[in-house]
């Protein structure tokens, strides 16, 4: 796995014919009012638009080749002033796809007539999309397809003071999350996952502690252990990583928590083949937490970050937990098991307890948790729930401005009535098809200690066929970009 990224250069000068002729892949970002005649080879391009009866409206693009010796692939794109971040990113992904094959080794972006803010947003979307498109997910074909790697991105007509360090960090975090999620389940077992991450921790200087099954038993983490007990391998556990800024900080740490079920059979409530297929991706929440940690580390965040990865498999076997089992979680609450395929909330319950004991100001957890959330939103956006109603506008704003859209659901106290148990403190879930994404969050909330601010992200959009926003693969790695917006733009960790 290589997280290397292309070199990005900026030049405030307007791109001329000489630079256009030197480019193999050129994308021109235009103000909708800009006259195409003002571009290099503008007369030819304007005639081609006429011949195609194509009016370049905001949000639309036109693809052709320049009449030069190189045959430069050129895309004309009208950057609409009122486009959402999601639309900009989607447009960038599709425009880059139209530039291939072959995949670009060098990509040129050129702005014409755009105001600085609009140019900055448009360029950032294309940088994000280019870095996502260039990344190679794991393949096991005997004759893998060879593709050139993107080495350079040249930007003309716009220059930012701080460059694209944040976009690069977000891309590296997202690429890591997608790569890990794509690994097959016989390769990414909890034990192998742990080894990969511990190697990464050494490279980034993170402190790492692994709470194995014996330690979790001493901590009374019976909810986690119930899920892990069906596995023939005793490699499950909670991996705790810690980033500490170089400059001492009095700020309360941020806690990132991720569901890391490396394969989910459903347990004794066995899934059928259709729904079991793809369940190696059930660890995507932990990969997103890890990718977010990586991005914050590369940006040298000035606050400490704890990352808690709950690593296990939900196997079926003679020792598997079963319906009507009663187990005791790490916070002392007893849980009645209602459905063994609701294992994610079981492992997260104990992990949230341990994470919140450290008294973080904010806890964010990520999980591919419920089909109910997909039923409510489809896979185009993810669900978000919080114990602070005042954060709901912030969550919506972060989704809109990052392009990783979330929609908040309520967390009313009366929903807890559905989780009342006759034999335990709480039911794990119900057997009815009623708002399980909300009930799952209601359940998880019971395992927070010290009352931190809490955001639960139900990753309905963890996999979207054909890609989503700037991400070209079905596996989206959704959440890294959203979280950096929450923390750095919405100031949620301050």
Q: Which domains does the chain have, with CATH numbers?
A: 7-163 (3.40.220.10), 168-489 (3.40.630.10)
Q: Are 226 and 313 in contact (CB under 8 A)?
A: no
Peptide bond into 235 cis (omega under 30): no
- Give the side-chain half-sphere CA count within 13 A for 283: 33
- What are the φ and ψ backbone dihedral angles of 220, each rounded to 5 degrees? 75, 25
pLDDT digits (tens, 9 = 90+) for 273-312: 999 999 999 999 999 999 999 999 999 999 999 999 999 9
Q: What gap in Å lies between CA 452 and CA 449, rounded to an integer?
A: 7
Q: Which residues contact 245 (CB under 8 A, 6 or more apart)?
A: 300, 301, 302, 303, 304
Q: What gap in Å lies between CA 163 and CA 462, rounded to an integer?
A: 29
pLDDT digits (tens, 9 = 90+) for 366-402: 999 999 999 999 999 999 999 999 999 999 999 999 9
Mean pLDDT value across residues 108-112:
98
Catalytic residue (choose from 73, 345, 405, 427): 345
Q: What gap in Å lies between CA 74 and CA 22, rounded to an integer?
A: 12
What pLDDT does residue 288 have? 98
What pLDDT does residue 402 have? 98
Q: What is the mean pLDDT of the chain?
A: 96
What pLDDT does residue 227 have? 98
pLDDT > 90: percent of the chain = 91
3-class SS at 224?
helix
- Give the side-chain half-sphere CA count within 13 A for 68: 19
Q: Are 125 and 172 in contact (CB under 8 A)?
A: no
Q: Are 455 and 391 in contact (CB under 8 A)?
A: yes
Q: Which helix (H) or strand (E) holds 253?
A: none
Q: Bridge partners of 327?
A: 335
Q: What gap in Å lies between CA 139 and CA 7, rounded to an integer?
A: 25
- What are the φ and ψ backbone dihedral angles of 210, each rounded to 5 degrees? -110, 120
More confident site: 247 or 265: 265
| 166 is an active site residue | no
What pLDDT does residue 58 have? 87
pLDDT category of residue 172 using cuts at 50, 70 and 90: very high
Q: Are 420 and 332 in contact (CB under 8 A)?
A: no
Mean pLDDT value across residues 13-24:
97
What pLDDT does residue 325 have? 98
Q: Bridge partners of 382?
A: 406
What pLDDT does residue 248 have? 76
pLDDT category of residue 82 using cuts at 50, 70 and 90: confident
Catalytic residue (choose from 271, 361, 388, 416): 271
Q: What gap in Å lies between CA 437 and CA 439, rounded to an integer?
A: 6
What pLDDT does residue 1 have? 67
Mean pLDDT value across residues 340-349:
98
Q: Which residues contact 75 (CB under 8 A, 6 or more apart)?
A: 26, 27, 28, 61, 62, 63, 95, 98, 99
Tell me the two tokens of residue 221.
Answer: 């983490």
- The pairing of strands 426-427 and 406-408 is unpaired
What pLDDT does residue 250 have? 62
Tell me: pLDDT of 5 over 90: no
What pLDDT does residue 328 have? 98
What pLDDT does residue 247 have? 84
Sign of CA dihedral 81, 86, 91, 93: positive
Count of beta carbons in the 10 Å neighbourhood of residue 26: 29
What pLDDT does residue 494 have? 65
Q: What gap in Å lies between CA 453 and CA 451, rounded to an integer?
A: 7
pLDDT category of residue 150 using cuts at 50, 70 and 90: very high
| 94 is an active site residue | no
What pLDDT does residue 420 have? 98
3-class SS at 51?
helix
Tell me: pLDDT of 233 over 70: yes
H helices present in 110-212, as ranges: 116-134, 165-182, 190-204
What pLDDT does residue 373 have? 98
pLDDT category of residue 339 using cuts at 50, 70 and 90: very high
Q: What gap in Å lies between CA 306 and CA 361, rounded to an integer?
A: 11
Burial of 458 (0-12, 13-18, 19+ CB in 10 A): buried
The full DSSP string for 307-364 is: EEEEEEEE--STT---TT-EEE-TTS-EEE---TT-HHHHHHHHHHHHHHHT--SEEE
Nearest one of 58, 60, 70, 287 to 178, comparing CA atoms? 287
Cα-based distances in Å from 324 to 313, 334, 340, 350: 20, 12, 10, 19
pLDDT digits (tens, 9 = 90+) for 422-468: 999 999 999 997 899 999 999 999 999 999 999 999 999 999 999 99
Mean pLDDT value across residues 197-220:
98
What pLDDT does residue 366 have? 99
pLDDT digits (tens, 9 = 90+) for 358-368: 999 999 999 99
pLDDT digits (tens, 9 = 90+) for 27-65: 999 999 999 999 999 999 999 999 999 989 888 899 999
């Amino acid at each position: 796995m290589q997280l290397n990224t292309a070199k990005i250069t900026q030049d405030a000068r307007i791109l001329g014919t000489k630079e256009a002729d030197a480019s193999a892949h050129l994308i021109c970002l235009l103000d909708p009012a800009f006259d195409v005649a003002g571009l290099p080879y503008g007369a030819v391009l304007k005639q081609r638009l006429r011949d195609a009866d194509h009016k370049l409206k905001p949000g639309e693009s036109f693809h052709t080749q320049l009449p030069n010796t190189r045959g430069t692939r050129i895309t004309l794109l009208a950057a609409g002033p009122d486009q959402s971040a999601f639309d900009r990113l989607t447009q960038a992904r599709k425009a880059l796809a139209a530039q291939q094959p072959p995949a670009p080794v060098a990509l040129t972006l050129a702005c014409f007539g755009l105001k600085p803010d609009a140019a900055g947003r448009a360029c950032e979307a294309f940088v994000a999309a280019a870095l996502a498109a260039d990344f190679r997910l794991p393949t096991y074909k005997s004759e893998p397809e060879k593709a050139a790697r993107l080495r350079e991105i040249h930007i003309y007509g716009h220059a930012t003071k701080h460059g694209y360090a944040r976009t690069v960090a977000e891309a590296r975090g997202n690429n890591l999350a997608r790569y890990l999620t794509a690994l097959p389940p016989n390769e990414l077992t909890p034990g192998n996952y742990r080894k990969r991450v511990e190697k990464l921790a050494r490279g980034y200087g993170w402190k790492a502690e692994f709470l194995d099954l014996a330690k979790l038993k001493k901590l009374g983490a019976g909810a986690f252990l119930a899920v892990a007990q069906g596995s023939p391998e005793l490699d499950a556990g909670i991996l705790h990583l810690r980033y500490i800024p170089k400059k001492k900080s009095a700020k309360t740490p941020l806690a990132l928590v991720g569901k890391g079920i490396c394969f989910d059979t459903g347990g004794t409530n066995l899934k059928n083949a259709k729904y079991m297929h793809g369940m190696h991706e059930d660890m995507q929440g932990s990969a997103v937490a890890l990718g977010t940690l990586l991005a914050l580390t590369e940006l040298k965040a000035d606050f400490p970050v704890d990352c808690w990865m709950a690593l296990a498999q939900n196997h079926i076997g003679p020792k598997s937990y079963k319906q009507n089992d009663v187990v005791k979680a790490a916070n002392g609450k007893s849980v009645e098991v209602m459905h063994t395929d609701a294992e994610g909330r079981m492992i997260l319950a104990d992990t949230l307890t341990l994470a919140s004991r450290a008294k973080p100001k904010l806890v964010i957890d990520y999980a591919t948790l419920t089909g109910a959330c997909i039923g409510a939103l489809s896979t185009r956006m993810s669900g978000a729930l919080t114990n602070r109603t005042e954060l709901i506008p912030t969550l919506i704003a972060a989704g809109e401005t990052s392009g990783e859209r979330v929609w908040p659901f309520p967390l009313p106290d009366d929903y807890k009535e559905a989780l009342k148990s006759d034999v335990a403190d709480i039911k794990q879930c119900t057997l009815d098809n009623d708002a399980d994404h909300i009930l799952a969050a209601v359940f998880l909330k019971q395992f927070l200690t010290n009352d931190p601010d809490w955001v639960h992200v139900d990753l309905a959009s963890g996999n979207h066929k054909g890609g989503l926003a700037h991400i070209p693969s079905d596996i989206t790695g959704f959440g890294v970009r959203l979280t950096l917006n929450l923390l750095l733009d919405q100031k949620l960790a301050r």
